[in-house]
Amino acid sequence: MTNKQTVPTPLPETAALVPIGAVERDTGLSKDVLRMWERRYHFPLPQRDAHGERVYPPDQVTKLRALKRLMDQGHRPGKIIGMTLEDLVALNVDRAAALRTRDRDVDEVLQLIGDHRLPELRQRLNQLLLSKGLQRFVVEIVKPLNVEVGEAWSRGDLAIFEEHLYAEQIQSLLRYAISSVQARGNPPHVLLTSFPMEQHCLGLLMAESMLVVEGVTCIALGTETPVPDIVRAASAHGADIVALSFSAAYPERQAVAGLRELRALLPVETALWVGGSGVSCHRRPLDGVVVVEDIEHIASLVADWRTVHRGNVHAAD
Amino acid sequence: MTNKQTVPTPLPETAALVPIGAVERDTGLSKDVLRMWERRYHFPLPQRDAHGERVYPPDQVTKLRALKRLMDQGHRPGKIIGMTLEDLVALNVDRAAALRTRDRDVDEVLQLIGDHRLPELRQRLNQLLLSKGLQRFVVEIVKPLNVEVGEAWSRGDLAIFEEHLYAEQIQSLLRYAISSVQARGNPPHVLLTSFPMEQHCLGLLMAESMLVVEGVTCIALGTETPVPDIVRAASAHGADIVALSFSAAYPERQAVAGLRELRALLPVETALWVGGSGVSCHRRPLDGVVVVEDIEHIASLVADWRTVHRGNVHAAD
DNA sequence: TCGCTCAATTTGTCCATGACAAATTAGCCC
DNA sequence: GGGCTAATTTGTCATGGACAAATTGAGCGA
């Protein structure tokens, strides 16, 4: 079987050199940006292959990934592009340390993920869900676990496939729990989704989990719904609230532009809630957009909504 | 219910002109390709805004979407780029008609989707699942429904949000069913995932559904796992079979390249199965890659595997 | 007729450089 | 300190050239 042989490549040079298209996919930085940075900051400085095309050494790709991650957290490229990988990682860790909750259950689950003990992982998560209840499970286990897993991945302590497997288990469990709590059409009706290019579905499921327990009726569209479709869906399903999730990686400009557009197209009486790790750093609030700073606040926000709309509810038509 | 109304934007001119970046996201055709086609084929021919930047009228975007869809089915741009939108749609329908199964249950579900009758939709799907059993539900309902929904969407008969909602319901239902069939570590161990840029998870869930019923142990990684991680995951979980799903939109080149690389990195004794709508048109088979032409065949493929590996199974260590 | 090879064509991706608008920061005055 | 320009930073778009990988088609021998 001698076909292809891209193979782990014992060769030190041509070994793992990555073409620009692959770097774009890997890091989420567009080809335009990669070439522009090279022009402006002299980093990255890829080698060239026989055709004069850029090929990036793996360590530069690693640094690019770290840069992207920090930029998603609000750092500007010019300030950090000159730093060493170590400094970048340190920056990351500093921020992470603040968020870290040293919870024994969380640590134990992390251990199971890293050890690939799938049956035990499933069982432990299930058990935690049952013992804590859905809302506390989401707040005390899933939320910190997401942070930890993300950090471990960026440190290189956790492989992509381990993170995937974790996400898949949580997803199954949350969906299972959600379908067990069959809503009966009670108000408010909440439309849950995200903007195009925002693929993280765990945040949506966490929100849905919090909501269904409150007796809210959820219409989950999954991720990546274009703005006009969100409007049509809200109208078709008589949504009282449209809830959107943003991850840290979502470009702020796009978010603000999309939210403004959506807010303009949505009826005034329809509320617009936004949540997720991508919203905490937003400085100026937008008119008519409710920012859910922490997923824990969902319950009280629902209570507030119900107080305001007491009486004039459109009670399941 | 007079919503739906694709609302053709009152303003005729500056109204819905789409910049190139948005077209790229919308159609999946890269900026480079859009500019190249304009140069070579004189289509699309966007207007220019005040800054001389391309802005595409919505009808050109629609045609681009149709073109992309046909190209995913194997047509070449040069042959079809000159055709009218009607001709393109007709081409599409021709092919679709062959696949269509006029099933009463399927039609009924389609109707429910279009009418936004969410509770009834849920209930009907649930009922179909229970009455037919998981495997027949997948083969007789979900598979044809996917085709129908895809076609209806490309005809413009179904909005994106309706398709999203449908997909979300099926996903919930299948995941629910899958977790109900708790595997006990029986061989074979099947690792389920897709390559990067392949985001369609319904195909994976359908495959997992078929497999768990056969008593197979599934390790589902979700979508978009890089090749090296697939290899590591297969090793970490002692997978006997790696199963990959490809949608029609996945570029064949990338698929073949990825498969060759993966096949070379995987131990010879690990089988490699590929399925999904993207594999039926693949002409030449690859060495050591089993093509699952139709999801119905999964059961017999599992039986074959078990026959071959009778005796020397690694019986749940 | 089938299968093969080699050349012509098709098609997507990459390159270099220039330009510019939107967003951010810095400087300044009240 | 608050608020206002002005300078700087940063991403995206444009043009036009080049070329390799893939597909098609022609020619040829079994």
DSSP string across A159-175: -HHHHHHHHHHHHHHHH
Torsion of CA A282, A244, A135, B166, to 10 degrees: -160
What pLDDT is attached to residue A172? 95
Q: Does any domain span residue A91?
A: no
pLDDT at position B96: 61
pLDDT on residue A11:
36
- In 3D, which of B205, B190, B191 has the Cα closest to residue B302? B190
Give me the residue from A172, A236, A237 closest to B179, CB to CB: A172
pLDDT score of A158 more than 60: yes
Of residues A26 and B161, the one with the higher pLDDT is B161
Domain at B219, CATH number: 3.40.50.280
**Residue among A245, A220, A217, A215 at smallest CA distance from A233:** A220
| Same domain, yes or no: B35 and B56 | yes
* Domain final position from A131, A160, A179: A179
- Domain assignment present for residue B6? The answer is no
Confirm or reject contact between B161 and chain A (CB < 8 A).
yes
Averaged pLDDT score across all residues of chain A: 86
Is the predicted pLDDT of residue B182 greater than 90, yes or no?
no
Q: What is the mean pLDDT of chain B?
A: 86
Q: Of B179, B198, B229, which marks where a domain is finished?
A: B179
Domain co-membership, A242 together with A208: yes
**Chain B residue with minimal CA distance to A182?**
B119
A284 and A213 in a common domain = yes
Does any domain span residue B12? Answer: no
Residue B45 lies in a domain: yes
The reported pLDDT for the residue numbered B7 is 35
pLDDT of residue A298: 96
Pair B203, B247: CB distance under 8 Å: yes
Q: Which residues of B touch A250 (CB under 8 A)?
A: none
User: Which whole number is the average pLDDT over B31-43?
Assistant: 94
pLDDT in tens, A116-140: 999 999 999 999 999 999 999 999 9
How high is the pLDDT of residue A25?
A: 84
Q: Are residues A296 and A203 in the same domain?
A: yes
The residue segments making up the domain with residue A223 are 183-308
Query: Is the CB of A222 less than 8 angstroms away from the CB of B3?
Result: no
Number of domains in chain B: 3
Of B3, B225, B237, the CB nearest to A116: B237
pLDDT tens by residue, B134-152? 999 999 999 999 988 988 8
Whether A172 and A242 share a structural domain:
no
pLDDT at A317 over 60: no
Q: Is residue B244 part of a domain?
A: yes
Q: Model confidence over A14-40: pLDDT tens digits?
A: 457 889 988 998 888 999 999 999 999
Sheet holding B189-193, edge to edge: B217-220, B189-193, B241-245, B271-275, B290-291
Residues on chain B touching A228 (C-beta within 8 angstroms): 7
Domain boundary among A113, A147, A179: A179
Query: What percent of chain A stands above pLDDT 70?
Result: 88
What integer is the mean pLDDT of B214-232?
93
What is the average per-residue pLDDT within B167-183? 92
Residues of B in contact with A3 (CB under 8 A): 260, 263-264, 287
Least confident among A206-210, B1-5, B60-64, B107-111? B1-5
* Beta-ladder partners of A192: A220, A243
- Picking from B258, B60, B221, B148, the residue whose alpha carbon sits closest to that of residue A159 is B221
Other CB atoms within a 10 A radius of the CB of residue A58 amount to: 11
pLDDT for A151: 82
Quick one: pLDDT at residue B189? 96
Q: Report if residue A218 sits inside a domain.
A: yes
Question: Phi/psi at B45 (nearest 5 deg)?
Answer: -120, 85
Are B120 and B26 members of one domain?
no
Rounded mean pLDDT, A72-91: 87
For B228-268, what is each residue's pLDDT tens digit?
899 999 999 999 999 999 887 777 777 777 888 888 889 99
Does residue B5 have a pLDDT over 50? no
- C-alpha to C-alpha distance for B140 and B132, rounded to whole angstroms: 9
Query: Is the pLDDT assigned to residue A316 strictly greater than 50?
Result: no
CATH number at residue A70: 1.10.1660.10
Given an 8 Å threshold on Cβ–Cβ distance, is B172 in contact with A179?
Answer: yes
Span B102-107, average pLDDT: 88
Residues B30, B71: one domain?
A: yes
Considering only A22-31, A87-96, A174-183, A264-273, which range has the smallest mean pLDDT? Answer: A87-96
